[in-house]
Structure formats: structure tokens, C-alpha cells
Chain A
Amino acid sequence: MASPTLVKGVRSTRSTIALKLTMALSGLAFIGFVLGHMYGNLKAFSGHDAFNEYAHHLRELGEPLLPYGGFLWVMRVGLIVALVVHVVAAVALWRRAAKARPVSYVAKKNQASSLSSRTMRWGGITILLFLVWHLVNFTIGKVNPQGGETNDPYNLLVDTFDLWWMTAIYLVAMVALAMHLHHGTWSALQTLGLTNTAQSRARAKAVGWIVAVVVAGGFSLVPLFVLFGVITK
């Protein structure tokens, strides 16, 4: 038990709510990113050349003001910072929550919470593990699970999702992402103090559903259409 004293020299920046605010802001940055990323993936429906041209265009974006690939590096640095902030804050809050109830209940019922709200932490770890494989697969390592060429983004994509188990892994990750976004979007809006009425609260929860379905659904389209032979080399 904390000593029964009044705390002195208080600062708003050291509070748990400040930690939550950093989680909300970094989370919103991720939502912006996955929306853009999902939209770009849909270029696969336009065929080999359109998809590869889009991938190349991302590297030329902002030229000549930015060097070749400069835009991507700005994005990468921003996302890495957001990831570190999001994970560090989450770990700090997780540890605090674990200490806040040292003796657990013999019986405890969940009355109002959604499954996605209760699985934010393990769901986040699932997404993090998936992210490592995803980057090895398409960015850092460029691993072709079929052993073919890796320097053609479109062909690497088709080769990957042609395997049912690769598509299955990606779909599982998208379920985890959908659940994380379903609660995370609403939670971020609530943490930012934007849900002060029953109406705005209902709206924020609806936004959570929409973001989850649009992002995870949009991402799932390309692997599924490759697996079913609609998108081919």
C-alpha cells in the first residue's frame, strides 16, 4: 500500500493521464498510417505495372525538395518514434495496472466491456510480432516464401499470398488489428477528452467500428483475391 500521505509538488506531465495522452496521439498517427497503407495496397487490383509504379512513386514523392526515398524515411522515423512512445507508455500502464490489484478475485464477471477492450495488451503484442514478420517479408529482408524473385514488389506480393498459410497468418493479424482499432479509436477519442456527452460517446464508438472494418477489411482484400486467383502474376 502507498503510504497514506498527500503527494507534494504535483505536475500534470507526470500523471497517468499524460501517459494515456501520448498513447492516444501515437495511436492516432498509426490510424492515419494504416489508412494510407491500406489504400496503397488496393493498387494491386490495378495490376503489376500500376502497383510497382505506386511503390516507386512513394520513393520519388516530394522530389526535388526531398532526396530520393526521403519521404519514406520521414515516414519511417515518425512511425518508429510513435511505436516507441506507444509501447513504452503501454508497458508502464500495464505494470501499474498489475500492481493496482495484487490479490485477484476468486470470481470476477465482465459486465460491460467488449472483448476487444480486454485484449488490447495481448492484441498489441500480436500486432507487434506480426509487424516484425511483415517487415522481414516485404521491406527489410524481402523473403519470398516460394523462393522466387524478391526485387519485384508486385510479384513478391502474389507469391506470398498464393500460399494459403501465409494468407491465413495475415488474416489472423488483421483480426487482431481490427480488434485493436475497434477499442483503440474510441479510447483515444475518450482520452483526448472529446466524448463529453452520450451522443459524442456513441459517435466515437461508431468511428471505432468504421475504422476497424475499413482498415482490416481493406487490407484483407488483396491477400484473399490473390489466394482465390483473381490477382495473378
Chain B
Amino acid sequence: MRLTLNIWRQANADVQGAMHRYELDGVSEDMSFLEMLDVLNEQLNAKGEEPIAFDSDCREGICGMCGLMINGMAHGPEVTTTCQLHMRSFNDGDEITIEPWRAEAFPVVKDLCVDRGALDRMIQSGGYISANTGSAPEANSVPAARDKAMRAFNVATCIGCGACVAACPNGSASLFVGAKITHLGELPQGQPERDSRVVGMVAQHDHEGFGGCTNIGECTAACPKEIPMDVISQLNKDLRTALKNGH
């Protein structure tokens, strides 16, 4: 496959970036998207040019580290992470535009790498349960209803990749926050801190400069883990309950 790539280059957070054009030949359709970028970087290295910086870690779709805006779609045209996207999803002669996640709360570190620390700080602001240390409690001593456990498990698949923020026209992280609120709120262990969790996480969300949700659904379409929109409804309901309880 022969490809034309338009890629965002930016030396660091303090300078202006710009789109650069690269021609790449000999791409196999069995390569992953990141392997295709590896091939390009090898060529850039050979020419003595600065290779393109992009994030990746596990390369098996479970860590949430990789994330690129590919032709205007977070993680590209398939419902998966960028590392699990393969070149067979593209055609010979295609022109591909590759950009970093764009959000005030995700500053560009270099080229296609952004700082997603804002997601960690939202977790720090309530996305946890406080548990005593010591030996593990007897597993059956805290019963959890099956449907609630399943819902919690399904939304706990969120890997915090930030695609929801990248795809949202408002730059909102509501799907991420909603996934955490639902995940912990459906389980017995999440109940004592339920009100303070939602208020804390939403306050940190707003503080980081994420936008408000307008329920349009671009986030859930971009989510590689297919987190549904109802977690945002759950988030709103939990916030409303906390409001009623005077938090």
C-alpha cells in the first residue's frame, strides 16, 4: 500500500505546531496503525529527521495509552483502539490525516502525544473507594445483585484513553466520569462515598476545563469499549441526588 499522511508536528508544548505531509510506500495491510507509523519513523531516522512522537504501551487494546485522531475519528474508523486498528481498514492511495486529541485539558506534549493527567486528577477527586488494609474480606460477605454487578463490570472496561473527550464537540469528559460513577455506584463498596464522589469528580472535571455535555452521543460512538450513553444519565442522576442531599 502507498499512503499520503498528513501528521501534526509540534516540538513541545510551548511552540506552535503545523501539519506535515509524508509519503509512505510498502505498507502491508496486516500492519497495525502504530506499526505503520513505526515504519515511517524508521525512514525518518534513516534520513536524520526527528521521528514522530506518539503514545503507545500494551499494543493490545487494554491500556488506553494510544489514541490518535485519524481522518477526524478518534481511534480511526473501527470500534477499537488505535493499536488494534489495522491497515486493512484503509485503501491503497489513501490520504490519512493524523492529529492529537484536541482539548484544553489535554495539552500537547510533543507531536501526537498529549498529557491526559486531567483524567487521573478526576480519579483522585473521588473515583475510588476507601478500603481498610489487611487481609482480604470473605468474598461472599458483601452480596451484590447480579444485574448491578454486570452493569458495573461492563462500564469498568473504560480504559481512560480519552477518545470520548477527543470526539466530543464540547470537549466534555462526561462519558469517562459517568463510567466511573456507574462502575463504583452500582457496587455495595461504592455507597458510603457516593455523593462526595460525584460532586468531587464533576468539580474537578469543570476545573480542568472540560466542557459540559449536550447529550449528542459522539463520545459513545468513539469509545473503543462501547461505554453506553446511560452512564451520563447515571452521572446526572447521582449529581442530582447529591444536590438534594446538600453536598
Contacts and interface: CB of A to CB of B under 8 A. Distances in A.
B211 A100 contact: yes
Contacts of B198: 12
A108 B209 CA distance: 21
A198 B228 contact: yes
Given A107-B99, A109-B73, A195-B230, A7 B215 contact: no
B43 to A, nearest CB: 23
Interface in B195-247: 198-200, 202-218, 220-222, 228-230, 232-240, 242-243, 247
A5 B103 CA distance: 17
A96 B99 contact: no
A183 B214 CA distance: 9
B97 interface: yes
A197 B217 CA distance: 15
A206 interface: no
Given A190-B232, A201-B229, A2 B209 contact: yes
Chain B CB within 10 A, most for which of A10, A100, A196: A100
Contacts of A1: 104-105, 107, 209
A1 B214 CA distance: 22
B217 to A, nearest CB: 4
B184 to A, nearest CB: 15
B212 A19 contact: yes
Contacts of B8: 106
B214 to A, nearest CB: 6
Given A2-B209, A190-B215, A104 B102 contact: yes
Interface string A4-32: 11110011111111111100000000000
Given A2-B209, A6-B204, A112-B220, A100 B97 contact: no
B13 to A, nearest CB: 9
B233 A196 contact: yes
A190 B243 contact: no
A109 B220 CA distance: 14
A117 interface: yes
Contact of B233 (A15, A93, A190): A190
B191 interface: no
B135 to A, nearest CB: 31
Interface stretch (B22-30, B85-93, B166-174): B166-174
Interface in B138-196: 167, 169-172
Chain B CB within 10 A, most for which of A10, A11, A112, A201: A10
B186 to A, nearest CB: 10
A100 B209 contact: yes
Closest 10 CB pairs of A and B: A193-B237, A100-B171, A112-B221, A100-B211, A10-B203, A107-B72, A109-B72, A97-B170, A16-B212, A97-B211
Given A111-B73, A201-B228, 9 more contacts: A12-B199, A17-B236, A19-B212, A93-B214, A96-B170, A110-B218, A112-B221, A117-B217, A197-B230
Interface of B: 6, 8, 19, 69, 71-73, 97, 99, 102-105, 107, 117-118, 121, 124-125, 167, 169-172, 198-200, 202-218, 220-222, 228-230, 232-240, 242-243, 247
